[in-house]
Amino acid sequence: MIDLYTFTSPNGRKVSIALEELGLPYMARFVDITRGEQFKPEFLALNPNNKVPALVDHEGPGGQPITVFESGAILLYLAEKTGKLLPADVRGRTEAVQWLMFQMSGVGPMLGQLTHFQRYAKEKLPYAIERYTKESERLLGVLDKHLGPREYLAPEYSLADIATYPWLVIAQQFFPELFTPVANVRQYMDRLGARPAVQRGMKVPEPR
């Protein structure tokens, strides 16, 4: 059994989508970051960086429990555990991992900063809003160009798609105008959103 400590955030939903795609049994354990539950000692024992998600696999390597934090690391661990969601050949695997890193270092942080400064910051800072708007537009343009002739980010459906999709969903909800010029990205989102496992994963975390 796997325990997934998570919240209704894009990073949390990456992992629930992966678990649903892989068909692994898991229990979603809600960590309410709006109430500071990520700072409780019991959660810090799982993730010293006090961020969701964190995962405990009670049947880890050698049959022993293992704890993993950071959403990208969790996705890679699950792929290694199951032999799924990454292409088997080195070229395809490398392409999937590089687009996973693109999400981790670019799409997530930049869209996250835009959301913060545009929607939640107590003081509206025009420079910050302009900076993160332009960078978000640029990154969406990179995705749109890459996806033009492709169905997925890598040669096959992979962790890269699972990591990217939840961030695109929330960004489209908050900033629909950013998605008007990127038709390939919108079509890509429709393809991924039609997958039953993605639909289930996006509904977590409700206690299971």
Query: What is the edge-to-edge ordering of all strands in the sheet holding 26-30?
Result: 26-30, 2-6, 54-57, 66-69
Rounded to an integer, what distance in angstroms lies between the CA atom of residue 2 and that of residue 16? 11
66 beta partners = 57
pLDDT for the residue numbered 206: 59
**Average pLDDT of the chain?**
96
Read off the pLDDT of residues 143-198 as tens digits, 9 standing for 90 and up: 999 999 999 999 999 999 999 999 999 999 999 999 999 999 999 999 999 999 99
Interval 29-50 mean pLDDT: 95
Q: What does pTM read for this prediction?
A: 0.95
Read off the pLDDT of residues 124-156 as tens digits, 9 standing for 90 and up: 999 999 999 999 999 999 999 999 999 999 999
Per-residue DSSP letter, 207 = -
What DSSP letter does each residue of 147-202 carry, written as one string? HTT-SSSSSSS-HHHHHHHHHHHHHHHH-GGGGTT-HHHHHHHHHHHTSHHHHHHT
